[in-house]
Amino acid sequence: MSDIKEILITDIEEFDSVDVVNILVSVGDEIDVDQALITIESEKAMMDFPSPYAGIIKKINVIEGGKVKEGDSLVSLELIGETNTHTAAKKISVARPNTEDSERQKIDTGKKDPNKKQASEKAYVIPDSNDAYASPGVHKYARELGVDIQTVPGSGRAQRVKTEDVQTYVRTQLGAKQISNATQVKPLDFSAYGETEAVAQTKIQKVTAKNMTTAWQTIPHVTHFDQADVTLLEEHRKQLSVELKEKNIKLTPLVFIIKALCATLKKFPNFNASLDIATEQIIYKKYIDIGIAVDTPHGLMVPVLRSVDKKSITQLAIELLALSDLARQRKLSPKQMGGGSMTISSLGILGGQAFTPIINPPEVAILGISKMFKQESVSNRNTKEKKILPLALSYDHRVINGAEAARFCTYLKEVLEDIWKVIL
């Protein structure tokens, strides 16, 4: 006799009920352990609920647009194979920050009601944060067009995919197909030359590849290079580092660069903007959130530091470390990505003299940082050693012109060179 199991929703007890945004399976589907059954949305986050068992869907017990509460049955499942609830349970149980990380986990709670802090922390890690975040209508629209919504870069808040994003994606893909039909080089059978190994790309690598291609093919990029004298900044950072080291806080030059960029964005709002092609409008952001490109073993990720203008150097140092740790552990939630003013890509520790960073759409500019170098300068017969920081600003030439970019960089340099402008 077949073993039918009711799959109940768990770990949402903090909410009276949550909305069923999308049903991702149909009766008769054979599903794997951990396969997403439904997408639910609370006031805190949107997340997929995975099946703890493999089996065949016999009945769906919820409706799209309906509500579910803790313990409701989602589907009736005829079990197949070995049953193992471990992974799924781990996935849906949205992690509570451990005490050791409590300082770091305070990030991103600045704009919220302190009474609701616990709830927001509970929604801190969303199961597979790479899943697309979109309304049921947009999911349906993408399905009708045969578009895999996971690959569509979202321009909405927390990278939510909007109808226009699906449309832009389709247009870009059609254009790219025409180009690639004409130019794509067929992969060679390299095994004819020697030993080879084929390794599947990670999901993040695939999404990054698509985003980069879209950015490169749709945005007219220009890169402006400059160099800032950061001798004073470095002296100050070293002094402050000694104090902060005792508190286990690491202070890198990047934290000062983030603050300097923040001051520059305030002065040049055109760089804190996004172009809405559909409505032919430029959207100016009145907040300053800065994305940081983080190199992780799974691929490139861009967490966003929120409200940088309201935070101290020390707070930013703590948050930068916390967010880059979360990125490396693949624990970033959609709320911690997207919506940024501008992104910084720092290859400072890795070396190189300069590079041309690719804009992170829908932003209109990105700042690349290369490794600092020493330069001797002679004044009044005295030789002094300066520390020089190479800067590379890539900008969207549809929104920003070359003169503005030059002024932006000049101001950024001035701020970096006058340390007090950074700190105050």
Among 292, 304, 326, 415, the residue binding ligand CAO under the rule CB under 6 A is: 292
Q: Does 337 bind ligand CAO (CB under 6 A)?
A: no
Main-chain phi, psi angles of 58, to 5 degrees: -100, -35
CB of 329 to ligand CAO, least distance (A): 13
Nearer to ligand CAO, 40 or 372 (CB): 372
User: Is residue 207 part of the contact set for ligand CAO (CB under 6 A)?
Assistant: no
Closest CA to 306 of 107, 169, 77: 107
| Bridging pattern class, strands 4-8 and 36-41 | unpaired
- The reply to whether 211 sits near ligand CAO by the rule CB under 6 A is no
Minimum distance from CB of 371 to ligand CAO (Å)? 4
> CA nearest 39: which of 57, 56, 62?
62
For position 77 contacting ligand CAO by CB under 6 A, the verdict is: no
Strands 299-301 and 30-31, bridge-based pairing: unpaired
Smallest gap from Cβ 300 to ligand CAO, in A, equals 5
Tell me if 337 sits within 8 A of 363, measured CB to CB. Answer: no
Q: Residue 316's closest CA among 159, 423, 420, 393?
A: 423
Looking only at the bridges linking them, the beta strands covering 36-41 and 299-301 are: unpaired
In terms of residues, how long is the chain?
A: 424
- Residue 331 engages ligand CAO in binding (rule: CB under 6 A): no
Q: Is 206 in the site for ligand CAO (CB under 6 A)?
A: no
Compute CA distances 104 → 121, 314, 318, whole Å: 11, 12, 6
Residue selected from 371, 386, 397, 421 as contacting ligand CAO according to rule CB under 6 A: 371
Q: Interface with ligand CAO by CB under 6 A: which range of 58-66, 194-202, 252-260, 304-312?
A: 252-260
Identify which range of 102-110, 175-183, 213-221, 340-348 contacts ligand CAO by CB under 6 A. Answer: 340-348
- Residues 369, 391, 399, 422: which binds ligand CAO (CB under 6 A)? 369
Q: Using CB under 6 A, pick the residue from 70, 229, 295, 404 that binds ligand CAO.
A: 295
Residue 368: strand pairing partners: 345, 392
Out of 300, 326, 391, 416, the only residue in the binding site for ligand CAO (CB under 6 A) is 300
CB of 258 to ligand CAO, least distance (A): 9
253 binds ligand CAO (CB under 6 A): yes
Rg (CA), the chain: 24
Q: Is 59 helix (H, G, I), strand (E, B) or coil?
A: strand
Strands of the sheet with 67-68, listed across from one edge = 46-50, 36-41, 18-23, 67-68
- Give 5: exposed, middle or buried? Use CB within 10 Å, 0-12, 13-18, 19+: middle
Options 161, 260, 342, 372; binder of ligand CAO; rule CB under 6 A: 372
Q: Which stretch binds ligand CAO (CB under 6 A): 49-57, 97-105, 215-223, 344-352?
A: 344-352
Task: Extract the runs of DSSP E, i.e. beta strands, from 11-66.
Answer: 18-23, 30-31, 36-41, 46-50, 55-60
- The count of residues interacting with ligand CAO (CB under 6 A) is 19
**Which residues have a catalytic role annotated?**
397
Residue ranges binding ligand CAO (CB under 6 A): 252-254, 292-295, 300, 320, 324, 345-349, 369, 371-372, 389
